[in-house]
A and B are shown apart, each in its own frame.
Chain A
Amino acid sequence: GAVVSQHPSWVICKSGTSVKIECRSLDFQATTMFWYRQFPKQSLMLMATSNEGSKATYEQGVEKDKFLINHASLTLSTLTVTSAHPEDSSFYICSARDPVGFGNTIYFGEGSWLTVV
């Protein structure tokens, strides 16, 4: 079946630096990808919808300048956490929509753990 790959799975960065997380659809072209964030012991919250070739659509309360999303190609979307702070430490997960076939199936990556120290 379709696969979505995230990289890195784990990342530790220093406070004030920026970190990039990649999301790739491996065997299908995804015009739309989604980014989520999970706080400890909570559910995953949708942060933004990433559209290939255009600006991302952010959910209410998500800082656009803080979480930069770039969907440069049909198989790659990146999330950059800028000027990271310890409160940005979280689990980030992406998903990609396969437009071919029934129901525009959405596939999820395995997630990326970010720790800001």
Chain B
Amino acid sequence: SQQGEEDPQALSIQEGENATMNCSYKTSINNLQWYRQNSGRGLVHLILIRSNEREKHSGRLRVTLDTSKKSSSLLITASRAADTASYFCATAQTNAGKSTFGDGTTLTVKP
């Protein structure tokens, strides 16, 4: 079964607002990555956070990781219409060595 679960499944906001997506996972991980996928396109790597890190920033993106709760969040600040896409988290599992994806959050940013 898939390792991760994301919520919400769908999120619709106005341009300029912040968007927060959450990812929960089940097993111990080495790192967690967030990806964006525009409709009909491939994956675009956004950010990687390692298991010994708690927070990471990249431009308008802020990622947190709570290994005790086995969860991560992705915050997009001052959203733009171009941020409209599906967002996935992918975990690199410690023991199995696999990396599996969450179900994804579909973000719609209305201009």
Give chain A residues whose Cβ lies under 8 Å from the Cβ of B45. Answer: 107-108
Chain A residue total in the interface (Cβ 8 A): 24
A32: chain B residues at CB < 8 Å are 97
Q: What A residues does B103 contact at CB under 8 A?
A: 42-43
Contact A36 B98 (CB under 8 A): no
A34 CB–B CB distance under 8 Å: yes
For window 80-117 of A, CB contacts with B under 8 Å fall at 91, 93, 95, 97, 102-111
A41–chain B nearest beta-carbon distance, Å: 8
Bound complex: CA A106 to CA B102 (Å): 15
Q: Is B2 an interface residue (CB 8 A)?
A: yes
Q: Nearest chain A CB to B86's CB is how many angstroms away?
A: 8
A7 to B100, CA, bound (A): 21
Stretch in A18-26, A44-52, A64-72 touching the partner: A44-52
Interface residues as binary, B1-38 with A (CB distance below 8 Å gives 1, 0 otherwise)? 01000000000000000000000000000110101000
Structural contact, B101 and A43, CB atoms closer than 8 A = yes
Given A44-B88, A110-B43, A111-B42: A105 in contact with B31 (beta carbons within 8 A): yes
Q: How far is the CA of A103 from the CA of B97 in the complex (A)?
A: 10
Question: Smallest Cβ distance from B52 to chain A, in angstroms?
Answer: 8
From A9, A43, A45, A91, name the one whose CB has the most chain B CB atoms within 10 angstroms: A43
CB neighbours of B99 from chain A (8 A): 34, 46, 95, 97, 106, 108
